[in-house]
DNA sequence: TTGTGTTTTATTGCCTCC
DNA sequence: GGAGGCAATAAAACACAA
């Protein structure tokens, strides 16, 4: 087990100060303001205390030592034992001090790296959120257009459906469509009661229009998603947006026949 | 001057590797 | 089993506002 060599704790704390030229050398190497001021004050302290320092207290490394350690860390963030001994000798430090400095420096670097990664992830998330918001707006516009077209179509059907014979023919066509989708509900479950049951429960045309809107929005949104970022869809959303389920309710190829849902027309 | 927050240096305990 | 790395933490040094 490694443990601190307590035979000479004094020596571990006393760092030999470097030359006056080295110590007075000002640095602008991108240290934080706090760190820089710390280094500055450290230099002054070194001046007055280095030679005669009483060493029980924890001491900070001088500027020369820190700069040399930083330089070595840039080259390699882990030290070979030989390099550690060499560096310790050059800087007047205990090898263990050098090792501890590198260890702490790696920890600081890791923290910074995590902060950077978090920033990147956050930026990506914000961009994605913006994309999603834009898509929602487009979807609303498209849904509104669909709603208008349906209303228009409904009016046309009312105008052209006076003959009983015509009504009968359309009714048959609707029955076929009903058979086609009667085994499907909105969530993709094979629940025979889902759609047909809804039919019986829908009491007003207003509810019905909402039903259509919901369904259409999902189709449109689903198609946009599939074209735009298909890999971002959750499995359950892919199921929800699957064209087979939605098309049977409102197919693009076959315009919806609203007669069934507007029997009064 | 003092309280408080931040940074740096060092220790401890655990883990992995050889 | 020893050496070394890492996470958590203590403690000293330092900055700074009130």
pLDDT score recorded for residue A137: 97
How do the residues of chain A divide into helix, strand and coil, expressed in percent and rounded to 5?
Answer: 70, 0, 30
This prediction's pTM: 0.50
A1 touches strand B (CB under 7 A): yes
3-state SS class at A19:
coil
Nearest-angstrom CA–CA distance, A174 and A260: 7
Q: Is the CB of A144 under 7 A from strand B?
A: no
Is nucleic acid strand B under 7 Å from A9's C-beta?
yes
Q: CA A50, CA A60: separation in Å to the nearest integer?
A: 11
Q: What count of other Cβ atoms lies within 10 Å of the Cβ of residue A29?
A: 9
Checking each nucleotide's C1' against the CA of A99, the nearest proves to be C4
- Indicate if CB(A13) is under 7 A from strand B: yes
Distance in Å from B4's C1' to A38's CA comes to: 18
Q: Give the residue with minimal CA–C1' separation from C15.
A: A34
Nucleotide nearest to A35 (CA to C1'): B7
Whole-number pLDDT of residue A126? 95
Question: What pLDDT score was predicted for residue A159?
Answer: 81
Bases in strand C with any atom closer than 7 Å to a protein CB: 2-8, 11-16
pLDDT tens, N- to C-terminus, chain A (265 residues): 343 333 333 333 333 233 222 322 333 333 333 334 434 444 443 433 332 333 457 789 999 999 999 999 999 999 999 999 999 999 999 999 999 999 999 999 999 999 999 999 999 999 999 999 999 999 999 999 999 999 999 998 888 775 544 555 545 454 444 434 333 333 333 333 333 333 333 333 333 333 333 333 333 333 333 333 333 333 323 332 333 333 332 232 333 333 333 332 2
Structure tokens at A208: 């019905």
């Amino acid at each position: 087990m490694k443990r601190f060599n307590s035979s000479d704790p004094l020596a571990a704390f006393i760092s030999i100060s470097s030359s006056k030229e080295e110590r007075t050398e000002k640095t602008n190497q991108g240290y934080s303001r706090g760190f820089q001021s710390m280094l500055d004050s450290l230099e002054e302290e070194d001046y007055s205390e280095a030679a005669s320092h009483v060493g029980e207290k924890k001491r900070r490394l001088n500027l020369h030592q820190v700069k040399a350690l930083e330089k070595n860390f840039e080259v390699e963030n882990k030290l070979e034992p030989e390099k550690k001994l060499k560096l310790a000798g050059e800087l007047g430090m205990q090898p263990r001090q050098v090792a501890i400095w590198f260890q702490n420096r790696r920890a600081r670097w890791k923290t910074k790296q995590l902060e950077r990664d978090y920033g990147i992830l956050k930026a990506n998330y914000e961009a994605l959120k913006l994309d999603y918001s834009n898509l929602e707006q487009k979807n609303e516009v498209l849904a509104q257009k669909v709603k208008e077209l349906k209303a228009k179509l409904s009016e046309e059907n009312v105008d052209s459906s006076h003959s009983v014979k015509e009504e009968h023919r359309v009714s048959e066509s609707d029955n076929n469509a009903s058979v086609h989708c009667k085994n499907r509900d909105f969530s993709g479950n094979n629940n025979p009661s889902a759609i047909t049951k809804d039919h019986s429960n829908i009491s007003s045309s207003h509810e019905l229009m909402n039903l259509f809107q919901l369904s259409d929005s999902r189709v449109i949104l689903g198609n946009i998603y599939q074209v735009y970022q298909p890999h971002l869809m959750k499995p359950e959303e892919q199921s929800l947006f699957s064209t087979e389920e939605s098309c049977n309710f409102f197919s693009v190829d076959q315009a919806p026949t609203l007669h069934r849902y507007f029997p009064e027309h």
